[in-house]
Structure formats: structure tokens, C-alpha cells
Structure 1
Amino acid sequence: MDVIEMMKNNGNNVGIKKALISAGGFGTRLKELTNKTPKPMLKVQNKPILEYTIDMCRNNGIKDIAISVHHLPEQIKRYFGDGKAFGVKITYIDEIEPLGTGGALRMARPWFDSTFLMCNADELKEIDIGKMHELHKKTGALATIALTEVEDPSQYGVVAMDNEKIIYFVEKPKKEEAPSNLINAGLYILEPAAIDFLP
């Protein structure tokens, strides 16, 4: 399966109207490539990674998108504009300083009025958002986080689980000390009230 096929979706409307895409990071691990280009704008098969994320949202019926930007934001804004050419409406949230996931959520808080999707802009994902949303509704959770299994979790934030609940995260543990092989996949379904729990 190639990248294009991986990002295709069956076109279901998952019942979520808005998404926040976090695109403000520096991409320091790819410094040679990201000094002059924001990581979400690096191309895979001649298409910026961020465009795949926007396609994923649109293909799931999510057409009102906010993108938080900081590092070289003009490149992202120039390419995507207001989103009309991509079949969505895009609002930009300018981070004066890099705020991370929590900071971007706090800045966007007034924009959210119902369940929303949040995801990182610089990762390709193969996740069934419809099934994830069904689980989110069934459990009544404020936040549902997509996880993925890796062989060596020592370079990631690793979760400790109790049944289907995340108990805590451990950042970059030694392989033998990791509570599991499950890591954050960078995609969340959230209720606006979840933002109020952020420090």
C-alpha cells in the first residue's frame, strides 16, 4: 500500500465538524530539512505532509479547520490560503512563541463549541476516525487518544494502560522500563471541556 492509498478514506461523515491541526513546531530532528521549510510542508510523493492531514479531515466530513502555526508560518499560509482550493475552510492561529499541544488548544478554546478532532500536522496516519469517534461517544470520555504500537518505545511518550484507560505517560523511557509498547499517535478526539483541565 502506498502513501496515497493509505490516506484515502471511504468518505464517511464521522459527525465531527471542526479540527485543530498543530503545525507550529520546529521539526528539530530533521533540522537539515526544516531550517528553511516547516516540517508539515516537507513533501511525500510531491505533496506536503500537511495536505494529507487536511485530506483526511475533509474525507471524514470535517471541513472547518484551524491550523496553529509558528515556524515559517508564511509558507503554510501561502500554500493553503483560506482552504477553499482544498475543499475546506481554514483559520490560522498564530503562536507568538511555540506553545506545544496544550498551548495551541488553549488559544483555540473559544473556537470550539462541540466535539472536535486534533492532530499533529507532520505525521501520516492510517486511523479509522469513525470507529474512534464511536468509542469516544460510547465511553463518554472528554478525550480519546489514538495509540500505536512500536517495537522500541524508548524514543517516544509511552502510555501505561488499565483496560482502555490511560493511567499515565512516561517520556522516552529505557526500553526495559517502558510500561508498554503503546505510544501517542498524535490524533485526538476531544470535548471542549477537556481543555479546561490543561495546566
Structure 2
Amino acid sequence: MIKYAIIPLGGLGTRLYPLTVETSKAMIRFLNRPLIEFIIYRLASQGVREIYLGVSGYVNYRNVYDYLGEGYRLSSKYNLPNSFRVRYQPLEDSVGNADSVRIIMEYYDITDPVIVVQADTVFDMNIYDLWSFHVKNNAFMTIVLKSIDDPEELKDFGVALIDPDMRIRGFVEKPRNIEEVGSRLVNTGIYLLSEEFRSFITSSEVLEMRKKGLMDFGRDIIPKLIREGKRVYGYDKIDYWFDVGTPKRYLEAVMYLLRKLSPEELDVSEYWNNIKFQGRSSRSKALHKEIISKASQKKIILEGDVLIGRHVSIGDWVRIRDAVIDNYTIVEDGAVIEGSVVMDRSFVGKGSTIINSIIGRHVKIGRNAFIEGSIIGDDCIIGDNTKIIKSKIWPHKNIDPMVSMENMSIR
């Protein structure tokens, strides 16, 4: 069985800007918890006992280490064995996700099979079944594949060319003509590496590639393995998988998992219809009862699937549909929130509307603001009567009252 997992965590997460301008992409709030916690839980709940984080850069390291530490907090929260640990890449510069794996394997002297998972994905699959498939095929490397139906979305990924026995012959990166490829299976960035992989990744040939910066799994390492005739296989029995590296896919993943996950997986303490509440303190429970009472009396409207965090206060005549409201958020009278995520300790003023948007942490939105299809960075102040459509606002910005903007980036 798989005991070791490596999660490369490099790069600046620019696709998620402005949410990741000052925050590691692994620590982005996702269903009212850091994203990395979902990944680690999925691995640890299926027997992985040591998680190695390939952190690169000060912000990544500080954000992740300050929350996870050595893993004791998560171990206690999820009742994991005492042997569970979280460890970190030493301060050695890496030149790609495969190089991060090399550094960790060498530093911690890992010679066992390893599962590699990217830090901006959420997924669910049977890891034991993946392992069995890997062993049965005597694979050097097994790549988890996911079928994608949308032709336009397929163009953003590497599409696998596979034999009937699931052996991979190659990948077509970001294909323009999907019909010519004949496959809809994409590389998820989840890899199961055999014991022999360490010898390969530390070989003189690969180290020469490193000098040229050629240490990306998808672009450099996997093509080399296939050229050399290594047994690279594809495994496609995955329940769900999302690359949450863009705001659009982030929202899609949030809304899907809001419906998919069990109350236990969402850490829900109480629910009413499709409305799920988090928090077990007496104050949180009192606020839950108040919200449910208002909804029962039609003083507020809660529709679709809604997740409400700890210590959330909601005023009268509020309408919330298919949304996530994070901890310590205040929503004043008459506000409307649809298809959106409002992160923790934010404030939504009276009569304001938020549609299909992501509101960062500690954001204050004034009265009668209208925000649609936009991303608001952390610690922003949005003035009264503003109109923000399809725009991005970087952290710590103040938007004056009465301002109207569309298709803009405020940095």
C-alpha cells in the first residue's frame, strides 16, 4: 500500500490572482477550509502516513507551515494514527515539479512507491485500487486520467494517447482539433511512482536536463519515460477531479462538492433542507437557530445548496442561493448572494448584490453595491453604490463610492 505522498507546491499561483497575490495557492479558502486540507485528508484517510510538501519560496512555506506544522493538528482533528506526519522540502531551489520530487526523495531517502498530487487539485478515488492496477501492470509510472467531455475545456490539458490495455503512448498538449486526437482522457497531475523512479530522477541524464530547466513532469519527464520505453500506464477510475487553478474552475469545484460531499466531509454540525451549517460552539448554534427561524418565517430566502460557516450573522430579507459564506461573515439586511463564495471575516452591506463572484478574506462591501463575475482580493474596501462587473481587484484596495467598472483589473 502507499504510505508516502509528495505534493509539489511551487510557482506563484498566478492563474488565481488576485486571490494568491499574498497567499499560497494551497492555503486558499475552499469550502471554509484551506484547500491543502482537503488534499491531505483524501490521502491520509486511505492509508498515506507521510505527506511531503514541496514548498518553494517564503510565502508558500510560511503560509503552509504555520497552518499545518508537523501534522499534529490534522492528526487530532481527523483521528489519524500517531505515525502521521507532514514534512517539508528543505531550502533548495527547484526548477519544476519533478525536481521538487527529486529533492524530497533524496533528502528523506525515500525508496518506496510514492503518490504525487498537485497542490491545486481536489479529487476522490480509491488509492488501493490505483495501487493494484499499478502492480498488476508492472508499471514504472501510473498517471491518473480523467475523461472531459467539453471540447473547449479539453484544449487546456494534455490529452493521453492510449493503447487498449491503458498503456500510454504519448500526450497531445492543448490540442486544437479534438477529433484528430481520438481521446478525451487528460492528465490530472496525479502520479504513482514505482520504487525505481528515484534511480531515474537522480540519474546523470536527468540531472543534465535539470541544468537546462527541463524538470516538469508533463512537458519533460513523462515524454522522456515514454521515449525510453518505460511502462507508463493510465488509470481512469476516478470519481471526481478538479483543477482549481483558475477562478472559474474554483467556483465549479466548490459548487460541485457542496452538493457531493457528505455532512461529515464538510464538517457540518447541523443542516436544514439543503442548508449546511458549521460550528459547534453555543454562539454558533444560536446563530444557526436564528437563521433557520428567519428562513422558516420567510424573512430570509435560502435556496439551492448553501454552506454557512461559524459565527455567521445574516440580516432580514436576505436572499442566498448556491453559495458559501465563510466564518465570521456579516450579511446585512436585503443583501443577495448567488453562485458565489464569500470568504471569512467579510462584511456585505445592506442591499448589496454578489453574483457568480469570489470575495476574498476580510473584505468590507458597502451598501447597495453590485458585484458580478468578479474576484475581490483580501482586505479590500468596496464603497457604497459601486458597480463591479467581470473585474479583478488586488488585495488592500479601496474602491470609492459610486464607482462603476467592467472588465478591469485594479492593482
- Give 1:173's aligned amino acid: P
Task: Please state if 1:33 is matched with 2:19.
Answer: yes
Equivalent pair of 2:111/2:198 in contact (CA under 8 Å)? no
Name the counterpart of 1:81: 69
| 1:79-158 correspondence to structure 2 within 5 Å | 79-87=67-75, 88-94=84-90, 96-110=92-106, 111=108, 112-150=110-148, 151-152=150-151, 153-158=154-159
Cα distance 1:171–1:97, how it changes in 2: closer, same or farther (>3 A)?
farther
Give, in angstroms, the shift of residue 95 of structure 1: 5.9
Asked if 2 retains the 8 angstrom alpha-carbon contact of 1:158 and 1:179, the reply is: no
Partner of 1:8: none
Superposed displacement of residue 59, structure 1? 0.3
Between the two proteins, what is the percent identity of the paired residues?
29
The equivalent residue for 1:3 is none
- Specify the alignment match of 1:185 in structure 2: 188
Structure number with the bigger relative contact order (C-alpha 8 A, sep ≥ 6) is 1
Counterparts in 2 of 1:118 and 1:38: CA distance versus 1, 3 Å = same
Whole-angstrom CA distance in 2 between matches of 1:197 and 1:190: 11
1:171 and 2:173 matched: yes
The change in CA–CA distance for 1:196 and 1:31 in structure 2 (over 3 A counts) is farther
Instruction: Give the Å deviation of 1:137.
Output: 0.9
Call closer, same or farther: CA 1:159–1:85 in 2, change over 3 Å: same
Once the 2 structures are TM-superposed, how far is the Cα of residue 155 of structure 1 from its aligned partner? 0.7
My pick for the range that moved more, 116-125 or 105-114, is 105-114
Given that 2:145 and 2:188 are in contact with CA atoms closer than 8 Å, whether structure 1 keeps it comes out as yes
Q: Are 1:25 and 1:98, in contact at CA under 8 Å, matched by a contact in 2?
A: no
Q: Secondary structure at the match of 1:74?
A: helix
In the TM superposition, what are the counterparts of 1:3-18 in structure 2 within 5 Å? Answer: 15-18=1-4
CA distance in 2, matches of 1:31, 1:138: 42
Answer whether contact 1:95 1:104 (CA < 8 A) is retained: no
- Name stretches of at least 5 consecutive residues in structure 2 with no aligned partner: 76-83, 207-411
CA distance in 2, matches of 1:173, 1:131: 30
Return the offset for 1:94. 4.1
Whether the aligned pair in 2 keeps the contact of 1:109 and 1:192 (CA below 8 Å) is no
Distance 1:171 1:195, change over 3 A: farther
- Secondary structure, in 3 states, of the residue corresponding to 2:136? helix
DSSP 3-state at the match of 1:125 = strand
Paired residue type of 2:20: T
Q: Classify 1:95/1:161 alpha carbon distance in 2 versus 1 (closer, same or farther; 3 Å).
A: farther
For residues 7-34 of structure 1, give each alpha carbon's deviation from its aligned partner in whole angstroms, at most 9, with x where no partner exists: xxxxxxxx21111111223212112111
Aligned residues: 185
Residue 159 of structure 1 is matched in structure 2 by: 160
Query: Normalization by structure 1: what TM-score?
Result: 0.85
Q: Give the drift of 1:44.
A: 1.3
Counterpart check, 1:43 vs 2:29: yes
Q: SS in structure 1 opposite 2:22?
A: coil
Deviation at 1:96, TM superposition (A): 4.4
Q: Distance in 1 between matches of 2:90 and 2:18?
A: 24
> How far apart are residue 149 of structure 1 and its match?
1.1
Question: In the aligned structure 2, how far is the partner of 1:25 from the partner of 1:196?
Answer: 26
For the aligned residue pairs, the C-alpha RMSD in angstroms reads: 1.7
**SS of 1:183's equivalent?**
strand
Compare the two structures and name the one with the higher helix fraction: 1
Structure-1 separation of matches of 2:19 and 2:128: 34
In 1, the alpha carbon distance for the partners of 2:94 and 2:18 equals 20
Give TM-score scaled by structure 2 length.
0.43
| SS class of match (1:54) | helix
Shift of 1:63: 1.3
- Cα offsets for 1:120-158 (capped at 9, x unmatched): 121110222111111011111111111001123111122
Q: Which amino acid aligns with 1:129?
A: I
